[in-house]
Structure 1
Amino acid sequence: MFGAGVFTVFAPAAEAAGSWLLLGLVIAAVVAIANATSSAQLAAEYPESGGTYLYGRERLGEWWGFLAGWSFVIGKTASCAAMALTVAHYTAPESYRTAVAVVAVLAMTAANYCGVTRTAAVARVGVAIVLVALATLTVAAFSSPSAADAGTTAFDPYGVLQAAGLMFFAFAGYARLATMGEEVRDPSRTIPRAIGISLTVALATYGVVALAALHVLGPAGLAAADSPLADVAAASRWNEIAPLVRFGALAGALGALLALMAGIGRTSLAMARRGDLPRWVAAVHPRYRVPHRAELALAGVVIAVVLVADVRGAIGFSSFGVLLYYAVANAAAFTQQHAHRRYPRALQVIGLVGCVTLVATLPVASIGVGVVVLAVGVAYRLLNGRRRASR
């Protein structure tokens, strides 16, 4: 979760919500908490790879599982592009950003190819660097005078909800924990604990960083920022920390990209095993024990997205897919029996209603592209089902 989101998402969110950015963050957090409880509850009952793709199939039926899995794959593929573009925005001049983003994708694909142990080790180092950078930035920001436009802007409910939907992009990392049930010890205990702890730490951190960014840049300045937290650092009294913030963005975005690609590869593996993606995707490398064909195919698609999209567009499209994924998770958790229930059903209702509402208020372009890509997946499954039936 400490990846591109905290370094990029506050700019488009401030553009939508103005000074009411923090209210949007609270709404996104409430929906994320509800979704997290559903994911934790389901992961405890189904400690296998696949996440909500598996949960939807088991609890609601094959089509609901496919909807969740396809939404996850397309949403997280857009997230990968956003991560790579964040690396480029914080580290390279504008004319070199596309090339840098492509190199980032290729490097993380190579690391993932070597197995999950290296993925976890690199992620731990990345999180430590990010936390140091964010802590330093926060102290510098609150030691600086407030921005000239730091006052309150007009309240726009639609804009606040849109900001919440965009900022949900920054919270969505806990889904990847649930996709790795076959690769951790004692998954029914480990995965729910990991989800709860990581979400709590992320929420507290995002809240403090958002306050710091608004304090230094103000709503208008934050909305216009190209590299938001680097701009905060440059505008603070400690402007010499800007390189540290840029390095933190590099470490965080690369670490999150690494984990994202691992999660997508394993969901794709689960879908391919059941025929919802081409069967050749289900191949597992004999030495590294990773879904290597899924990883390579993903790298190709992410690079294609990087070549045609910008960071803000990738964030909106990612939120579309991920929110639909969690809508299915909440519906699946709602059907669980008492023996497997850890949280009240009211939380699943809040999560489901919240996901659907935030999807409906995303930028129109993100919704349009998302609907088209979702329809492509549905068409593929229908045609594939008919082909198998005719055989």
Structure 2
Amino acid sequence: MSSGLQRRLGTQDAVMIGLGSMIGAGLFSAFTPAAASAGSALLVSLFLAAALAYANARSSAQLAARYPTSGGTYAYGREVLGPWPGFIAGWGFVVGKTASAAAMALTFATYAVPESWVKPVAAGAVALLVGVNYLGVTRTAAAARVIVMSVLALLAIVLIAILGGIQDGSTAVSGGNPGLAGILQGAGLLFFAFAGYARIATLGEEVRDPARTIPRAIGLSLGIVVGLYAVVALVLLHSLGAGGIAGTNKPLAAALGQSWALPLVQIAAALASLGALLALIAGIGRTAMAMAREHDLPHALSAIHPRFSTPHRAELTVGAAVLVLIVFSDLTTAIGFSSFGVLVYYLIANISAVRQPASERRSPRWVGIAGAIGCAVLVAMLPATAVIGGLIMFAAGICYRFLRLSIQRQGFTRL
């Protein structure tokens, strides 16, 4: 059996995996709940989410350059802060993103097939993409490249069609004045869209020259996606208004009305959701593998496939968990739940970056401090259901680790 993962990815590969994660996660699912919260201040929420993502990206890149290993903030938290903060970060990522993966599978199927076929097709998509990841990270990167380029091309046509007046003639509906709480809640929901660059850091053992590649890939992918989201938000606000965006689950389709370009939105949404799901499975599997190495998850999940150099047991387990969650998933709830887990994940990343010695820092300490404060504020401002669900999820993880440590102390060290 291979003793470790192989470094096969270059900067372009890592960028494509990051883009695949972020484009699918928000363009077709995050604007509606964010507009419902932020109203006419949707662009302010978008700016705040992007600014926080930038601070988090700088902290993540700094940590990844120093600790180029799989697991992302789970590994960084363990190295810098200790086992418990690392575990909380890893648990939040694995559980929250597993729910997010189920939501992305359902989003794909919702756009692709009639309602009666949604769940079976969603399950089939998960099985297919687990298989792609199982065969090796270069296949993951290649599939991500095809999906990202296709989505960007289709999206460009759709935006041109909207701006060219191919709509149903409806007037834009202005949003209300949400106040600071609504703006911050909108930012927290939109942050879900920008969190995909974490997938780059979780592939730390599979990129060439990680100290250079990971920071560059994170910066490039985040910059491209922030620009893309800003353009889409401006077009939607011009066409539908904040109230119109909040009133539909498919704002891009609503902006087109009965246009000939409407099928292109459906195809782009389906492909983008597949891209996000592909990268999610890869990132969750590698974080689960890293946790299993330290016995924070069952140690059997740390196995590396001797031929494909992938954490095959972890990825198959993640796929099985996503299939189970597909039965119970709700997209809006999943966005809030995922945002809670990911914001806690980045809170720990920022604290870890602040605690690094000056010789290892690539960003001023205030960047990490600002990122940590921003994560804490947005976590508190998420919808109550997301906060309650997130707290229950973390409580379950803490109980699990306490139980595992108790069993280990009694001599069962291989659990």
Indicate whether the TM-score tops 0.5: yes
What CA distance in whole angstroms lies between the structure 2 residues aligned with 1:215 and 1:101? 33
CA root-mean-square deviation: 1.4
Q: Is the 8 A contact 1:45 1:188 kept in 2?
A: yes
Runs of 4+ in 1 over 3 A off after TM superposition: 149-152
What CA distance in whole angstroms lies between the structure 2 residues aligned with 1:210 and 1:289? 40
Deviation at 1:150, TM superposition (A): 3.6
What CA distance in whole angstroms lies between the structure 2 residues aligned with 1:155 and 1:381? 40
- What's the counterpart of residue 66 of structure 2? 45
> Does residue 155 in structure 1 map to residue 175 in structure 2?
no
- What's the counterpart of residue 381 of structure 2? 361
Q: Is the 8 A contact 1:53 1:271 kept in 2?
A: yes
Give SS of 2:260's match.
helix
Structure 1 stretch 148-157 or stretch 379-388: which is displaced more? 148-157
Q: Which amino acid aligns with 1:180?
A: L
- What's the counterpart of residue 203 of structure 1? 226
Q: Which amino acid aligns with 2:221?
A: S
TM-score by length of 2: 0.91
- What's the counterpart of residue 219 of structure 1? 242
Deviation at 1:175, TM superposition (A): 0.5
> Does residue 382 in structure 1 map to residue 415 in structure 2?
no
Gaps in structure 1 of 5+ consecutive residues = none
Q: Is the 8 A contact 1:113 1:288 kept in 2?
A: yes
Q: Deviations over 1:331-379 (max 9, x none)?
A: 0000111221111111111110111111111111111111111111110
Q: Which amino acid aligns with 1:303?
A: L
Correspondence list, 1:229-240, <5 A: 229-234=252-257, 239-240=259-260
Q: Which amino acid aligns with 2:157?
A: T
What CA distance in whole angstroms lies between the structure 1 residues aligned with 2:183 and 2:79? 35
Q: Deviations over 1:93-140 (max 9, x none)?
A: 223222222121111111111110100000011111111122122222
- What's the counterpart of residue 296 of structure 1? 316
Q: Is the 8 A contact 1:35 1:326 kept in 2?
A: yes
1:173 aligned to which of 190, 196, 202: 196
Over 3 Å counting, the alpha-carbon distance change for 1:57 and 1:275 in structure 2 is same
- What's the counterpart of residue 134 of structure 1? 155
> Does residue 333 in structure 1 map to residue 356 in structure 2?
no
Q: Which amino acid aligns with 1:82?
A: A
Aligned residues: 388
Deviation at 1:147, TM superposition (A): 5.0
What CA distance in whole angstroms lies between the structure 2 residues aligned with 1:94 and 1:385? 45
Correspondence list, 1:60-79, <5 A: 60-79=81-100
Deviation at 1:229, TM superposition (A): 2.0
What CA distance in whole angstroms lies between the structure 1 residues aligned with 2:175 and 2:78? 46
- What's the counterpart of residue 205 of structure 2? 182
Correspondence list, 1:299-314, <5 A: 299-314=319-334
What CA distance in whole angstroms lies between the structure 2 residues aligned with 1:390 and 1:114? 39
Q: Deviations over 1:228-285 (max 9, x none)?
A: 32222336xxx11111121111221111211111111111101000010011111222
- What's the counterpart of residue 274 of structure 1? 294
> What percentage of residue pairs aligned between the two structures are identical?
53
Q: Deviations over 1:52-77 (max 9, x none)?
A: 10100111111010011111111211
> Does residue 17 in structure 1 map to residue 38 in structure 2?
yes
What CA distance in whole angstroms lies between the structure 2 residues aligned with 1:94 and 1:211? 31
2:80 aligned to which of 34, 59, 67: 59
Deviation at 1:226, TM superposition (A): 2.5
Q: Which amino acid aligns with 1:118?
A: R
> Does residue 111 in structure 1 map to residue 149 in structure 2?
no
Q: Is the 8 A contact 1:158 1:361 kept in 2?
A: yes
Structure 1 stretch 22-31 or stretch 97-106: which is displaced more? 97-106
Q: Which amino acid aligns with 2:299?
A: R
- What's the counterpart of residue 47 of structure 2? 26
What CA distance in whole angstroms lies between the structure 2 residues aligned with 1:312 and 1:340? 39
What CA distance in whole angstroms lies between the structure 2 residues aligned with 1:229 and 1:340? 44
Give SS of 2:28's match.
helix
Q: Is the 8 A contact 2:23 2:276 kept in 1?
A: yes
Q: Is the 8 A contact 1:134 1:209 kept in 2?
A: no
What CA distance in whole angstroms lies between the structure 2 residues aligned with 1:55 and 1:360? 24
2:101 aligned to which of 74, 80, 85: 80
What CA distance in whole angstroms lies between the structure 2 residues aligned with 1:63 and 1:84? 31
What CA distance in whole angstroms lies between the structure 2 residues aligned with 1:380 and 1:87? 33
Give SS of 1:197's match.
helix
Q: Is the 8 A contact 1:150 1:215 kept in 2?
A: no
Give SS of 1:240's match.
coil
Q: Is the 8 A contact 1:90 1:230 kept in 2?
A: no
